[in-house]
Every structure is written in C-alpha cells, then in structure tokens.
Structure 1
C-alpha cells in the first residue's frame, strides 16, 4: 500500500514522532449535551458546549498526539490545542436516523471534506453504526456511503479514519448475550472495511471483547463470556483480518477498563497503532463542570484527566507505528 503526500502529511500530524496515534476524542455532541443537562438540571447552551470542549483541548492536548473534534461546537477548541497536537474533524451528524431500521448515518449539511480541511483538519473521521448481520439492503447502503466518503477524501488528499460501532437491534449491548456476539461483529466489520474499495486509511475499532465478561479480569462482573485465553484469541482473530492500521476506541468505558483492555491487546501480540480515547479520560468530570463550573472542571482535568490520559499513554508502549504497516521508510517520513 502506498500513501499520497497529503495522506502521509496528515497521518504524521496526528501521531507521535514514533508513528503512534495517541489521540484524545472530544467530538461527542448529543450524548454530551444530554449528560450535561442531566447533571445541571437544565438546558445546556452552545457556549457551555464550546467551553467544555475548549477546556478539554487546552488541558489534555499537551499529553496527546492529536484531538478529535466536531465542527459544530469544537472549532474554538481546535484553536486552543497544544502546538504538538494534530486535528481530526468529524464529518457525520451526531447519532443516527431513528425513523427506520439500520441506524443509518448522515453527514453534516453545511460541511464537506474540502471545508473541513480548510477549517484546519489534518484528518477526517466518520462514525458508522454497523453489523454484518443486518439485511443486505441496509448494508449495501452503508457500503456505498463509505465508498463515496473514501472517494471524497482521496480527491482532497486527506486521511480517512472510519470508526464503526457494532450493535444489534433490540438487544442490550452491555449484556452477556451481546458480549458473546461482539467478537464476530468486530472481526467481520474490520474484514469489510479494510478492503481497498473504501479508501479507509485508519480503522477506529472497538475492543473485540467486553472486559466485564472476561473471566479473571480486574473488572470481571461475575458472568463469563470468555476465558482470558479465548479473549486473547478474539483480539488476534480480529487483528488478523486487517490490512491497514487500526486504533482502539474507548466506547465510554471507565479508564480502568480501557487500560486493562489495552494490556490484554498487548499480551495478545496485537499490532494496534494507538488509540482515539475520549470518555475514558474526561467523562467523570461532566458532573463537576455542570454543578461547579469551568474552574472546578479545569482543576479536575489537570489532576484526574491528565492522570487518565497518561494511564492510556503508558499502555501505548506496545503499539505498532502506522508507518511500518504502510511500509513507509524513514526517508519518506523525513521528506513528509
């Protein structure tokens, strides 16, 4: 696989000198607004959303290789990130279409890849709810949608990060039954979107197991979906279908659970290229911001938030540089 100059430059901008993607995610919109409103006991203004994101960017980006933001409330925050941190911008609308089956996605009406790039994006990120077990007509629509996005990113010579999150209609995705299905959903999704036709440069993937159901894990719930050995095999099986770099997302779990997941990935020998970690770093600060204000939230982030992101960074010693997966040599990196 070869990278064009623009894609090479974009990937370098969001990774460490060693080629590891150690990025913070702060593109949450609808879910963040609801959580803040619940804790505040009232409406959340646009100014509050912008302020929350800006504080996260200011405090955490000195410890990150990049930050993922949205162009709706995140552009002011993008201008307050540390000089070392690259910028990924989200292109999809928050949530998904609830009027029909399939959790269909949509793009922001007033944005394009060209406009996101002009706004400072080094890379474009898209979130897609996906399961290989949906009806063919549903997934055909999603496949065509991703193909169009890949072509748009190619035309603008900017890296395309695709995040896919598994689901099952009508199921409790935190339950034991879904945990047993999760490894196959993650593996089959990675096998699909690693195909060249989609033009995805980096896959942002879920941990292929639910750590609460891994027998003997520190966050074990008491019900087992897999032994530790089986969980390690699921990590390897999913990673084995990837032909391009992939990074792990935190999916809203606690910092302790996410870091244990990364430890298990490392013990399994998986060649993951880093993380894009959001709520596992800052979500416990939501009630502090909502009830005590910006100053208290900043102070909490400077202590607990920084500790959380450093906990994640410590686990990235086992990560594999994205450029080794693409076969990019030191000479090309120096030129880029």
Structure 2
C-alpha cells in the first residue's frame, strides 16, 4: 500500500481527499511548484535585462499550467498573480489538483532568524474560495535555535489547526538556512540534522504533510522519515538542475519519502517572455522531465 495514504493517522476524511488529489494513482505526491513570483520573473528576462511585467508573468504562469502542470497530479500556485484567473478562465485541468500557496514573497529577519509572512487576506476559507484543494505554507526554521514558544512554531500549530477545522489539508514547507557568521563547514555538518529536526518539530505541532529539502544522503533521508513519524514528506527541488534532483528523489523515495514537489528544476529554462518559445520548451523540454520525475517518485 502507498505510504502517503496509509501512514497518516491524523488526517480527517476531508484531508484524506485532499491528499489523494495531489497524488498519483500509486499514492505518491507529484506536484509542479509554480507559486514563485520574483524568482519566476528572473528566469524570464531572455537575457536582455528588460523587466517582466505583471501581465507577462500571468501569461507565463498560464502557459506553465497548460503545458506542464496539467500533466501532473497537482500544481502549486500563488493567490497574488495566478489566482483566481487561471481557474476562472478554464486553464487548469479538472484532473489536476490545485495547491494554493499562502506565503508572501521574501522574509523578515528578527534577531538573526528568518520569518515568512502570509499573503494578505489568504485564510483557509479564502483558499477554498480560490478553488484550492490543498493549502501550502512556508516557514524557515533553525530547530537548534527555536522551540515550541517561537513565533514560527506557533504559526505552524495554529495554521494546521485552522486548516483542519476548515476541512483543508495543509502542506507544511520547511526551509532551514545558514546563520550569519556560521561557517560553510559547520552548516554543512549540521544540515542533515536540521532537516530531520525541522520535520520532528513540525509534526509535533500538527503537520500532516511535509515539503522538505533533500537532506543530503540515503542515511539522512531515512533519518528524516523516522523523524516524521509516519507523516508523508515530499522533496523540494531547491533550484538544483533536473539530473541532480532526479537522483535526490530516487534516493529519498527509496528511504521513505512520499514524492516530490518540483519547480525550477522542471521549468527554469523554459519560461521565455515569448508565448511561442514557452510552448515549445515546456512541451519538448519540461514535459519529458516531468515524466522522468513521475517515474522517480514511483520508486
């Protein structure tokens, strides 16, 4: 039986329906991440430095849904640029689930720690109004510096409860990061444990599904799976190239991960300003990558 559906004892009936919607028939998460805003604009400049307009970004996201996202189990979109237009105009396929990102771009720093912000007005109820099947929220964590009383941990607890009460599954995305003054060597040594401890503290505070960085190895992936305590986790691509990500996904899935959420590794070299070029590249370059990723998540 697929781990994504059998190892989630905390899921309500409605949350289980959301989980099923973002998974392949075999029960593995396969989500195209397209909620980036500034990051997506950065790869659309076509090399001439001309700023990308909001309308151009909307058009690019629509093409990304049409020629890539509609071939996946689910697509992750933002409520600031893409929604509700891409739902209302019929671009999103009825067979592709919609994950709505609740986090605003960027972060604020307080006493050396990073904190994300919610998009204004985006509540669990608003996610439903936008047509969302599932919600996603990003938090930065340094579990060696933050405990149950920390703002980020408290937000995880509060939002998972609010989403569950609204019958909405929440994907908890965690990014750990290097502190100012921390050496590259010290951070690299700590990184696998930080990912595992982030999973542990998130699950302890209500997380039902996790989106996590690849922790670096087979052994570290197994440690994350153990830390997650039966809660399914998906690997995020973190901007690495496609070939690297495929290897990471294969290793993670072989050691307990339940799928992948891929963004830039799929489409970062396919999003020209030109619609014609986008259609060609998304079809001929990104779609084969998605098929390869689908094979990798099936293990």
2:161 matched to 1:151? Answer: yes
Match of 2:28 in 1: 20
Distance 1:256 1:171 in 2: 32
Q: Which residue of 1 aligns with 2:128?
A: 117
Q: Partner residue of 2:213?
A: 206
Give the match for residue 261 of structure 1: 248
In 1, distance between residues paired with 2:200 and 2:24? 27
1:241 to 221, 224, 227: 227
Q: Which runs of 5+ in 1 are unaligned?
A: 210-230, 319-336
CA contact (8 A) 2:235 2:252 kept: no
Q: Tell me if structure 2 keeps the 8 A contact 1:66–1:85.
A: yes
> Partners in 2 of 1:155 and 1:102 — Cα distance?
30
Find 1:252's aligned residue among 232, 239, 245: 239
1:162 matched to which residue of 2? 172
C-alpha distance after superposition, 1:217-242 (max 9, x if no partner): xxxxxxxxxxxxxx321121121111
Query: Is the CA contact (8 Å cut-off) linking 2:10 and 2:208 kept in structure 1?
Result: no
1:74 matched residue in structure 2: 82
Contact 1:171 1:178 in 2 (8 A): no
Pairwise CA RMSD: 2.1
24-33 vs 39-48, which moves further:
39-48
Shift of 1:307: 1.2
Residue in 2 that maps onto 1:326: none
Q: Say which SS state the counterpart of residue 89 (structure 1) adopts.
A: strand
Pair 1:310-2:291 in alignment: yes
TM-superposed CA distance for 1:36, in Å, is 3.1
In structure 2, relative to structure 1, the CA distance for the partners of 1:207 and 1:19 (3 Å cut) is same
What TM-score comes out, normalization by structure 1 length? Answer: 0.80
Matches within 5 A, 1:1-336: 1-37=9-45, 39-75=47-83, 76-78=85-87, 79-98=90-109, 101-134=112-145, 140-170=150-180, 177-195=186-204, 198-209=205-216, 231-243=217-229, 244-266=231-253, 269-286=254-271, 289-290=272-273, 293-318=274-299
Query: Post-superposition shift, 1:33?
Result: 2.6
Deviates more, 1:298-307 or 1:55-64: 55-64
Asked whether the 8 Å contact 1:14–1:21 carries over to 2, the reply is yes
Question: What do the CA deviations read for 1:17-36 (whole angstroms, capped 9, x no partner)?
Answer: 22211111000112223443
* 1:239-295 Cα distance to aligned partner (Å, 9 max, x none): 1111211111111110000001122224xx412211111111001124xx14xx111
Partner SS, residue 36 of structure 1: coil
Paired position in structure 2 for 1:218: none
**Higher alpha-carbon Rg:** 1
TM-score where L is the length of structure 2: 0.89
Per-residue deviation, residues 159-208 of structure 1 (Å, max 9, x unmatched) = 010000110222699x555333210111111111111xx33221011100
Give 5+ residue unaligned stretches, structure 2: 1-8
Please, which moves more after superposition, 71-80 or 308-317? 71-80
CA contact (8 A) 1:247 1:275 kept: yes
